[in-house]
Structure 1
Amino acid sequence: MKHLEKVNYKGFIIPIIVGLIFWFTTPIRPAGVTVQAWHMLAIFLATIMGCIFKPLPIAATTLIGYTLTIFLGLAPIKDVVVKGHTVDASALSAFSNSAAWLIAMAFMLSRGIIKTGLGKRIAFYFIEWFGHKSLGLGYAVAAIDLVVSPATPSNTARAGGIVFPLVESLAENFGSKPNDLSRKKMGSFLTFVEFHANLITSMLFLTAMAPNLVAVELAKALGVNITWIGWFEATCVPAILALIIVPFIIYKMYGPEIKETPNAKEWAGAELKKMGKLTVPEIWMAGIFLLTLVLWMLSSSIQLDATLIAFISMSLLLLTGVLSNDDFLSEKGGWNVLVWLSILVYMANRLTKFGFIKWLSETISKSVGHDSWIMVLIILGILLFYTHYLFASATAHNTAMYGPFLAVALSAGAPKMAAAMFLAMFSAIMASTTHYANGPASVLAGSGYVEQGEWWKMNFILGLFYIIFFIVFGLGWMKLIGLW
């Protein structure tokens, strides 16, 4: 007997209330905001609330918001042409978003790394090399996340599908179990290190986290063009320094009971023996992965678009048989992000088109003043960080606040690239707040290795570290390379 799919109808209550309140307060909207802009804001905020309360998965939720945008006349279903010129592109143009396609194809690369076992082999090598002491194991976990992050745009999949299973295996090898006092032998330390390594690598590469692409598209709407290599140049030194420093801080603050770990090297070596020699699929996957990274790094010099490079890589994976057509079609994560990322960015761009973002940035600018663009930028970064306590999704948070905050920074006189990348850094580190801050937090905080009170307390301390560190070294590094 067939049944209806489960829908969390209660989850619609707050999004609908928020949408209706804004829609019906149109007559008393602020001066300078058009009716279209206010109506678009109502649908946009309702959609963002839907992404937070999740009556349906995020792709389905955004699709409903997208449908309402068209149905209520806020976007045309066909191109609007006046005197031979397109004055408003079709709503279907949302799905021509190159950033969304880039991230979708990167998901396919990630699937290849997991399917071939290449990610697991890399992980075992790092454990074998660095696993003599518990701190070394912490750095091995960080290194595993670092190596696979450029081609793993789902930081949740990276944490939960690649790294955490290895953390669990390692913890069990030392008799460390979740929801038990033995968790502090090893599991707690490694789990918390993985969360923060994941957070930092998500910042390091443009393709390491889907919300990064939201930032790129919103920045583009404000005249700031960020390339793959441009992103990496701005983040590489502060992010890598943080990746070196943070595991050591965690070791001192939340170190494992077991300090010496000679068994880890033996365990990793035994697992590598079980895997045997590199297989042909792994060799092809490694070659295509390295080729993709090199082309992304050279994309500006060789005039090759990053999205096209991702399509080339995907084609090579199919041609070599690393991935099958079924793999391609069944990569739900990639197709899911293509839908919601395209729609959310399109809706945010409609707010820009209708003048709402300009009005909002001018209003906020007046309240924060123009005495110093650096002070304005720092205030905005701190606000972005701490308002994440109200969000359970970096995507929803970035879509709602990154564009307006960047607009305010630019109107205060901040250099375009420096402002965009500084706020992008804070869009990653803001996950250092709660156990529901992002997907990896939900997976790792829910593992039973770190208690919720410990999670909040230690993240609060590390959050303060991140804020100071990236104000000093983030802005300092961008000054050194000439971004301001």
Structure 2
Amino acid sequence: MKKLESVNYKGFIWPVIIGLILWFMTPIKPAAVPVAGWHMFALFVATIIACITRPLPIGGVSIIAFALTVLTKTVPMEKAIVGFGNASIWMIAMAFFIARGFIKTGLGRRIALNFVKAFGKRTLGLAYSLIGVDLILAPATPSNTARAGGVLYPIIESLSQSFGSDPKKGTERKIGSFLIFAEYHGDMITAAMFMTAMAANPLVQTLAKSNGVNITWVGWFLAALVPGIISLIIVPWLIYKMYPPEIKETPNAKQWAEDELSKMGAMTLPEKLMAVIFVVALVLWIVGSFIGIDATLAAFIALGLLLLCGVLSWQDVLHETGAWNTLTWFSVLVMMAGQLTALGFIPWLSKTVGNSLHGMNWILVLVILIIAYFYSHYLFASSTAHVTAMYSAFLAVAISAHVPPMLAALMLGFFGNLMASTTHYASGPAPVLFGSGYVPQSKWWSLNFVLGIFYLVVWIGIGSLWMKVIGMW
């Protein structure tokens, strides 16, 4: 090694300054907050800011945050290390490995091509077909980045090129821009529909449980079903109207898909095994709460079967860096967020905000909290980091304001995904799809702003009424 790795030292400036200011404000902290709780708050805020300024990748930031948390004696090592044993986080890691099976075997690509073959005569139909693939994969792929980036983006790229749509040639608007942006939102919606469709959703379940709300896989799905289907139907059409492709008819797509499927040949044994194990995992996630198998165990079983059958090798598992990266930084942030509660900061904040909203109608309180939660995402480069930082506090405030607990827990859970309708760095799929060059930043932000309003209206309005109809509050 002759050259040091690149470090963005300027990215440390704001986290350090703000962290130190908060730390040394301890003498004038609110009396109800313990010293350790305030110190934990200072460290947590500095860490979240560092996740935004990115002096190091988020994994590196989390390791430094972990070391400082223990070094300052804010949290003892035996409590800090507990975060790495969180079952929900391990389920996420397992799911990365399962997603690798879809990509490695080619099953994900085969599913996508069959949808294109069946529904791809028009550009709008093509978008619906691709989103349909996302919908099928979503329940068993808690990495929405893996779905959008690993499975569907290569298909969209190939389709776009086959129609002469290439940002390098200035022809991105032919078809590619529309398909990229439609898939981004389709992936976002499917992530909101299933508890196992995005990394932060199981965390929502864990945080909700700590607030006395027990969310099941089936309960989440049923609550999201109607607003989710409405969104899946209307959003691609809205994008089609606001950001129309130049090519509206795609008669060649069917032939292209047939040619690609012909090249793939018949389903291979690995694909068949992957399909069977996928169904096993899905069934276990659906019925697990009734037979005593939680989501994490179901994911372990699925991975074990993939290894046992030879679909994946242990080297595949070791090389799935996204899983190990997520396991590292997520564990640290979850530990820190948990300690904010354990050390008294979150209870104080919830009580304070709850008192400020005292006397307000609970519906108004819920709307205010969700809007604040949604638009604060402009400050975050990760949906998971945002959920970790704010979900528990906002849920506690909602419950203290007499919002029905299940309604509050699920609404905040849904918008932990839908708030990605903001920036080009809002979630894992965003940098992948935006980075393809098909959609300029100005369009990405402006279209997301309009669609964000749509999500707020549909999911709060229709979603709340639907949950009332099915007796969830």
TM-score (structure 2 length as normaliser): 0.97
Q: Distance in 1 between the 2:210 and 2:5 partners?
A: 38
What's the offset of the Cα at 1:307? 0.7
- Matched to 2:374, the amino acid is F
Corresponding residue of 2:38 = 38
In structure 1, which of residues 224, 232, 235 is the aligned counterpart of residue 224 of structure 2? 235
Match of 2:160 among 163, 171, 185: 171
Equivalent residue, structure 2, for 1:20: 20
C-alpha distance in 2, partners of 1:163/1:91?
38
CA deviation map 1:242-297 (0-9, x unaligned): 11111111112222121211100000000000000000000000000011001100
Query: For structure 1, which segment, 246-255 or 127-136, has the greater mean C-alpha deviation from structure 2 after superposition?
Result: 246-255
The more displaced of 462-471 and 265-274 is 462-471
Other-structure match for 2:115 = 126
Shift of 1:179: 4.8
CA shift for structure 1 position 6: 2.2
CA contact (8 A) 1:95 1:342 kept: yes
Distance 1:217 1:398 in 2: 11
Between the aligned partners of 1:352 and 1:217, the Cα distance in structure 2 is 13
Letter in 2 for 1:172: Q
Superposed displacement of residue 111, structure 1: 0.6
AA aligned to 1:435 is H
2:6 paired residue number: 6
User: What SS does structure 1 have at the residue aligned with 2:167?
Assistant: coil
Task: Report the alpha carbon displacement of residue 458 of structure 1 after superposing the two structures with TM.
Answer: 1.3
Moved more, 210-219 or 358-367: 210-219
2:75 alignment partner, SS class: coil
Q: Deviations over 1:286-345 (max 9, x none)?
A: 000011001100011111111111111111001000001111222111111112222111
Match of 1:452 among 423, 430, 441: 441
* Alignment partner of 1:268 out of 231, 253, 257: 257
For 2:46, give the aligned amino acid: A
Return the alpha-carbon distance in structure 1 between the equivalents of residues 192 and 168 of structure 2.
31
Q: Residue 424 of structure 1 is aligned with which of 413, 423, 439? A: 413
TM-score by length of 1: 0.95
Q: Is the 8 A contact 2:96 2:146 kept in 1?
A: no
* Alignment match, 2:182: 193
Tell me, yes or no, if the aligned pair for 1:135 and 1:247 is still in contact at 8 Å. Answer: yes
Describe how 1:47-446 pairs up with structure 2 within 5 A.
47-78=47-78, 90-446=79-435
- Gaps spanning 5+ residues in structure 1: where? 79-89
In the TM superposition, what is the alpha-carbon distance from 1:464 to its structure 2 partner?
1.0
Q: Distance in 2 between matches of 1:298 and 1:212?
A: 18
Displacement of 1:91 in angstroms is: 2.4
Q: Displacement of 1:150 after TM fit?
A: 2.1
Contact 1:127 1:137 in 2 (8 A): yes
1:131 deviates by: 0.5
Deviations 1:173-232 (A, max 9, x none): 111111554222111111110110011011112222112233222222222222322222
Q: Which range moved further: 58-67 or 349-358? A: 58-67
Where does residue 454 of structure 2 map in the other structure?
465
Q: Is the 8 A contact 1:189 1:256 kept in 2?
A: yes
Query: Which amino acid in the other structure matches residue 9 of structure 1?
Result: Y
Distance of 1:298 and 1:237 partners within structure 2 = 21
How many angstroms does 1:46 deviate by?
1.1
Q: Bigger shift: 202-211 or 20-29?
A: 202-211
- Give how far 1:151 is off: 2.6
Q: Percent sequence identity over matched residues?
A: 58
> 1:84 maps to which residue?
none
Q: Distance in 1 between matches of 2:168 and 2:461?
A: 38
> Aligned-pair distance for 1:439?
2.4
- 2: CA distance, partners of 1:158 / 1:208: 9
Question: What is the DSSP-based 3-state SS (H/G/I as helix, E as strand, rest coil) of the residue aligned with 2:242?
Answer: helix
Deviation sequence 1:127-183 (CA, Å, 0-9, x none): 000001111101011112112222322222322221111111111111111155422
Matched to 1:165, the amino acid is P
The answer for the alignment partner of 1:83 in structure 2 is none
State the 1:17 CA deviation.
1.2
| Residue identity in the other structure for 2:129 | A
Distance 2:313 2:169 in 1: 42
